[in-house]
């Protein structure tokens, strides 16, 4: 089944389910809604549920924010639905991240970056390079030496497919270390960082590249070791984890967390959402929740965020061409 057919099928299922739900329930005034383009759990779900809760707690919206999970195509199904059916829905916000923009840059969404209006970034999850607690690789330098010497001997994995953000971050490290043939590095895709780590602990693979927030519990339990955080500075919640930059590898790999809304939403509604989200960002509630999840709180909103997203798309497209994902 092609990408477009897959998206169409998923949209048909989602639309049918929505119609059945509406027919079975009494009609109510539409509440503000946040769509997480994924199953429950993980970064997009955290974004919607936490932001939705705090928006209500701070009385920035009337009542509770409805949280909807709509997995499919790493966000492509949601993107297509919003474009086709809800592009002017002023009560709708959707979770996105570096992962989503990477998919757009690689042509894996049904339409381009200009289809939506991007509201704001509220934080960034830090990419990490992890190994099992008993791994033979005790430092990033040892891992890099092994990858450069024989890339095919190192089995790596993460929660994105080949060419996804988890994969690209690891390739950036390998390239900085001196690996010339990036296609030689073996990559295995899992549905989440937790699944990848579980297989690594079982000896099925050597290295996991993912977001710290996905696997923080394994770090706290001592089951895995983080060889490097792909951040500019040490992570406040895990200050003992060394950065790649501190080990001579000048690579950062943040997975920013943010929100978009439909492309035909009015300027008035767009600006109102930006204002609400900036207020939320500055609250103690968000700052605490973000750090507990392992995020670095960062605010970029409105026109500045729109420009940032477009710049990021170009960066991701360039990297994707360099590693042969797109032409």
Give the DSSP letter string of 43-58. HHHHHHHHHHHHHHHT
pLDDT at 325: 83
pLDDT of residue 234 exceeding 80: yes
Q: CA dist 101 to 93, 137, 147, 180, Å?
A: 16, 32, 28, 26
Q: CA 70, 289, 124 angle in degrees (round to 5)?
A: 70
* Residue with token string 């992890």: 130
Pick the range with the lowest mean pLDDT from 46-55, 193-202, 304-313. Answer: 193-202
Q: What is the pLDDT averaged over residues 223-232?
A: 95
pLDDT at 30: 46
pLDDT at 31: 59
pLDDT of residue 10 exceeding 70: no
pLDDT digits (tens, 9 = 90+) for 91-110: 999 999 998 999 999 999 99
pLDDT digits (tens, 9 = 90+) for 13-64: 343 333 333 333 333 334 599 999 988 877 889 899 999 999 999 999 999 9
| pTM, to two decimals | 0.76
* Higher-pLDDT residue of 31, 222: 222
* Residue with token string 């032409």: 327
**Residue ranges of domains in the chain, CATH in brackets:** 3-123+256-322 (3.40.190.150), 126-247 (3.40.190.10)
Evaluate whether 158 touches 166 at the Cβ level (below 8 Å): yes
pLDDT of residue 322 exceeding 50: yes
Retrieve residue 320's tokens.
Answer: 């994707």
């Amino acid at each position: 089944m092609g990408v477009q057919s897959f998206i169409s099928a998923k949209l048909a299922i989602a639309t049918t389910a929505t119609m059945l739900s509406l027919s079975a329930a009494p009609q109510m005034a539409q509440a503000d809604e946040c769509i997480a383009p994924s199953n429950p759990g993980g970064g997009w779900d955290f974004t919607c549920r936490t932001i939705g809760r705090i928006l209500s707690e701070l009385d920035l919206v009337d009542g509770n924010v409805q949280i909807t999970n709509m997995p499919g195509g790493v966000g492509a199904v949601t993107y297509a639905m919003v474009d086709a059916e809800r592009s002017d829905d002023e009560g709708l916000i959707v979770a996105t991240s570096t992962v989503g923009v990477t998919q757009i840059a690689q042509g894996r969404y049904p339409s381009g970056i200009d289809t939506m209006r991007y509201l704001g970034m509220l934080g960034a999850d830090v990419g990490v390079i992890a190994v099992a607690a008993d791994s033979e690789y005790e430092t990033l330098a040892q891992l890099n030496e092994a990858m450069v010497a024989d890339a095919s001997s190192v089995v790596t994995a993460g929660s994105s497919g080949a060419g996804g953000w988890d994969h690209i971050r690891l390739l950036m490290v390998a390239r900085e270390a001196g690996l010339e043939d990036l296609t030689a590095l073996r990559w295995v895709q899992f549905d989440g960082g937790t699944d990848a780590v579980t297989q690594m602990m079982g000896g099925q693979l050597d290295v996991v590249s993912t977001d710290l927030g996905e696997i923080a519990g394994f770090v706290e339990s001592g089951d895995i070791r983080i060889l490097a955080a792909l951040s500019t500075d040490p992570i406040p919640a895990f200050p003992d984890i060394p950065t790649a930059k501190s080990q001579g590898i000048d690579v950062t790999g943040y997975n920013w967390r943010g929100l978009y809304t439909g492309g035909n939403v009015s300027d008035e509604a767009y600006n109102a959402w930006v204002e609400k989200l900036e207020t939320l960002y500055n609250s103690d509630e968000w700052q605490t929740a973000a750090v507990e999840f392992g995020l670095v709180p960062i605010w970029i909103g409105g026109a500045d965020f729109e420009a940032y997203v477009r710049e990021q798309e170009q960066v991701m497209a360039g990297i994707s061409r360099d590693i042969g994902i797109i032409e």
